[in-house]
Structure 1
Amino acid sequence: MTLKQQMKFWVIALVAFVLFLVLLSDILLPFVLGMAVAYFLDPVADRMEAAGINRTTATAIIIGLFLVLVILAVILLVPVIIDQFVGLLNNLPGYYQSLHDFLLPFIDRFVDIPALQQSAEFKQTVGQYVGEAVKSLGSISKNIVGGGLALVNMVMLLVISPVVAFYLLRDWDHIVARIDSWLPKKNAGQVRMLAKHIDDVLAGFVRGQSTVCLLLAAYYGIALMVIGLEFGLVIGIVTGLISFIPFVGAIIGFIASVGVATIQFWPDFIIIGIVGGIFVVGQILEGYVLVPNLVGEKVGLHPVWVMFGLLAGGSLFGFVGVLIAVPMAAVIGVLSRFAIDQYLQSPLYGAPPPEDQERLLED
C-alpha cells in the first residue's frame, strides 16, 4: 500500500469516526462513562489479578465497591448540594443588593454616578433582571431534573454504564491484545510506541487529575463548611470538580467564596481572610503535593491546549465532547509531537540524510 493510499484510508477512518460521534452523540454518554470507569479502574484489576484473584471476580468486586461509593455519595451529598444550590439561587437578589450597597460609597469617591443609577427605580430594574435570571435558572434546573428525556438518560446512566464498565474492565486485556493484532505489520512497533506515550499521558492526566479533583473537592467543601460559609459545601465541591480546567476552578471558587464571605461576615476581616487563605493553602497543596505525586510533570498537556480541547469538544458534541476532549487532546498532542520530530529529521526541514547524520556523530 502506497503512502497516498494509507493517508486516504486514515482520512476516511477519521471522517467516519467524527460522523459516528455526531450522529450518535445523544446515546453515547453511558458508554463513554462506562469506558472511562473501566480505564480508570484497570490498574486496580491488574493488581488484584496479579495477587491471584480471578479477573471476573476482581472486576465484580471493584465495580461493586465503586457503585456502593457512588450510591452513598449520591444519597448523602446530592440532597445537601441541591438544597444549597437552590438557596444560593434564591439569595442572589439579596447578594446583589448587599454588594450594591457595599460598593456604591467607594465608587462614589472616584466616579460621578448619575442620579438615575442611585435612584430606587434603577435598583428595582436591576433587581428585576436578577430575579428573572434566577427564575430562568430555576426553570432550567427543573426541566433538567424533571424532563422525560433526562429521566431516561438517568436510567441509562445508572443501568447501562455499570454493565459497560464491568464487561470492558473484565475483557480489557483481551480487547487490547485483539486491537494489537490488527496493527499493520510494517508499522506495528511505531504504533505501539505512540500508543504507550498516549497511555502515559492519559494515565497521568485522567487518573491522576481525577484523583486530584476529588481530593480538592473534599478539602474545599469541608473547609468552607467548617468555617461557616453559607453554601460553602456546594462552592467547595464545584471548585474541586472543575479544577481539571487549569486555574479556572480556583479563580471561580476564590471569587465566589470571598464574595459570599464579604457579604456574610463584613466587617470581620479575619474570617474573610481565612476564607481566602483556604484557597491559598489549596493551591499550594495542589501545586506542590497533589499534582507532582498524582499527575506527574511529564504529562505534556499544556493548560491552554486542555482548555481549548474542552471548549471545542463541548461546542461540537455537548457533554460527551467534554468527556472525550482530554483523551482526544492527548492523542492529538502525542501525534503532533511525533509528526514534528519526523519533520525535523526529514529532508523537508533540511536535515542531512541518516547516513550523513551518523558520519557527523562519528566525527
Structure 2
Amino acid sequence: MTLRNQVLIWIAFFIVLMLALWIFRGILLPFVVGATLAYLLNPLVNQLQKWRFSRGWATAVVLLSVVAIILGLFFMLVPLAGQQVGGLIQRLPGYASDLQELARRWAPELNAWLGPEQAARLEATISDLLGRIVGFAGGITGEILASGWGVITTIGIVVFTPVVAFYILLDWEGMVRGVNNLLPVQYKDEIRGILAEIDSSMAGVIRGQGSVILILAVFYATALSLAGLNFGLAIGLIGGLFSFVPYVGFAIGFLLSMGVAIVQFWPNWWMVAVIFAIYMVGQFLEGNILYPKLVGSSININPVWLMFALLAFSLLFGFVGLLLAVPLAAIGGVLVRYGVRKYKASALYLGENGDKGGDQTAV
C-alpha cells in the first residue's frame, strides 16, 4: 500500500470518528466517564491479579471500593459544596458592587498616587474585569444546566458508569489482544511503539494531571476554608478543578479569592495577604513538585494547542467534548510527532539521494 493510500485511510478513519462523536454526543457521557474510570483503575486490578485474585474478583473488589468511596464523598461533600457554589454565584454581583464601592472610596488616594487619568483607567479596568467574571460564572452555570445535568443524565451517569467500567475492566486483556490481532503484520512493531507512546501520554493526562487537579482542589478548598474566607470551599474546588486549563484555573480562583477577601476582611490587610500567600504556595507546589513528579514530560502538549483543543471540542460536542479534549489532544500530539519523524526520514525532506546536509547547501 502506498503512503498516499495510508494517509487517505487514516484521514477517513478520523472523519468517521469525529462524525460518530458528533452524532452520539448526547449519550456518550456515561461511556466516556466509565472508560476513563476503567483506565484509571486497571493498574489496581492488575496488581490484585498478581496477588492471585481472578480478573473478575479483582475488578469487583476495586470497583466496589472506589464506588463506596465516591458515594461517601458525594453524600458528605456535594450538598455543602453545591450550596456554597450556588451561594457564591448569587452573591457575585453583590461582591462586584462592594468592590466598586471600595474603589470609589479609594479614589482620592488613587488620584493622588496615580493621577486622575490613570486612576480612572484603573477603575474602568476593574469594573470591566468584575463584569466579565460575573458573566463567566453565570454563563458556565447556564451551560452546565443546559448540557444535560438534569435528573435523567444524573441517573444515567450513576447507573451506567459503574456498569461500563466493570465490563471494560473485566474484558481489558481481551480487548488488548483483539486490537493486537488486528494490527497489520508488516507494521505491527511500529504501531505498537506508537500505541505505547499514546499510553504514556494518556497516563500523564488522566492519571498524572487528574491527580494534580484533585490535590490542588483539596489544598485550595481546605486552606481557604481554614482561613475563614466566605465560600472558600466552593472557590477552592472551582480553582482546582479548572486547573486542567493552563493558567485559567489559577486565574479564576485567585481573582475570586482576592475579590471576596478584600470585601470580607477590609481593612484587615493581613488576612488578604494570607489569601494571597495560599495561592502563591499552591502555584509553587503545582509548578515545582506536583506537575514534575506526577505528570513530567509525558503529555508534551503546547498550552496554546491545549486551550484550542478545549474550546474546539467543547464547541463541537458540548460537555462531552470538554472531557475528551485533553486526551484527544494528547493522542493528536503523539501522532503529529510521529508524522514529523516520518517526514524527516523521507525523501521529501532528505532529497532523492538522502543527503542530510542538502538543506545546508541550499541556504
Q: Place the TM-score, normalised by the shorter chain, in its bin.
A: 0.7 to 0.9
Amino acid at match of 1:193: G
Comparing 240-249 with 158-167, greater Cα deviation is found at 240-249
Give how far 1:111 is off.
Answer: 3.6
Comparing 336-345 with 32-41, greater Cα deviation is found at 336-345
Report if aligned partners of 2:217, 2:237 keep a CA contact under 8 Å in 1.
Answer: yes
Structure 2 Cα separation of the partners of residues 337 and 138 of structure 1: 34
- Which ranges of structure 1 fall in alignment gaps of 5 or more residues? 114-125, 358-363
- SS of the residue corresponding to residue 348 of structure 2 reads coil
Once the two structures are superposed, residues 134-184 of structure 1 have per-residue CA deviations (whole angstroms, 9 ceiling, x without a partner) of 997799499669x8x821111110011110000101111210111110011
Match of 2:168 in 1: 168
**Could you say what secondary structure the match of 1:189 adopts?**
helix
In 2: Cα distance, 1:134 partner to 1:221 partner: 21
SS at match of 2:174: helix
Alignment of 1:330 onto 2:301:
no
Q: 1:334 to 1:261 in 2, by over 3 A?
A: same
Give the 3-state SS of the residue equivalent to 1:349 in structure 2.
helix
Q: Choose 58-67 or 92-101, whichever is displaced more.
A: 92-101
1:234 CA drift (Å): 0.4
Distance in 1 between residues matched to 2:144 and 2:56, nearest whole Å = 40
Determine if contact 2:81/2:234 at 8 Å carries over to the other structure. Answer: yes
**Aligned partners of 1:220 and 1:278 also within 8 Å:** yes
Q: How many Å separate the matches in 2 of 1:251 and 1:138?
A: 15
Structure 2 residue 261 is matched with structure 1 residue 261: yes
Question: Could you tell me how far 1:33 is from its partner in structure 2?
Answer: 0.7
* Cα separation, 2, equivalents of 1:150 and 1:69: 23
* Structure 1 letter corresponding to 2:330: A
Q: Which residue of 1 aligns with 2:18?
A: 18
Q: CA deviation at 1:254?
A: 0.8
Q: Residue 45 of structure 2 contacts residue 55 of structure 2 at CA under 8 Å; is this kept in 1?
A: yes
Give the corresponding residue for 2:341.
341
Question: Paired residue for 1:93?
Answer: 93
Inter-partner Cα distance in structure 2 for 1:142 and 1:47: 37
Partner Cα distance (1:202, 1:257) in 2: 32
Aligned runs of 1:312-323 on 2, under 5 Å?
312-323=312-323
Asked if the contact 2:209–2:294 (Cα under 8 Å) also holds between the matched residues in 1, the reply is: yes
| SS at structure 2 position matched to 1:348 | helix
- The answer on whether the counterparts of 2:224 and 2:275 sit within 8 Å (CA) in structure 1 is yes
Are 1:277 and 2:282 matched, yes or no? no
The aligned residue for residue 359 of structure 2 is: none
What's 1:237 paired with? Answer: 237
| Aligned match of 1:39 | 39
Q: Which runs of no fewer than 5 residues in structure 2 stay unpaired?
A: 119-127, 357-363
Cα offset for 1:133? 7.0
Counterparts of 1:96 and 1:203, CA distance in 2: 41
Q: Which residue of 2 aligns with 1:79?
A: 79
Q: Which residue of 2 aligns with 1:192?
A: 192
Aligned match of 2:204: 204
Query: Larger deviation: 173-182 or 81-90?
Result: 81-90
Q: Is the 8 A contact 2:89 2:138 kept in 1?
A: no
Normalising by structure 1, we get a TM-score of: 0.86
> How many pairs were matched up?
340
Residue of structure 2 equivalent to 1:120:
none
- Aligned-residue CA RMSD in angstroms? 2.8
Say whether the 8 Å CA contact 1:34–1:164 is kept in structure 2.
yes
- How much identity, in percent, do the aligned residues show? 38
Say which SS state the counterpart of residue 264 (structure 1) adopts.
Answer: helix
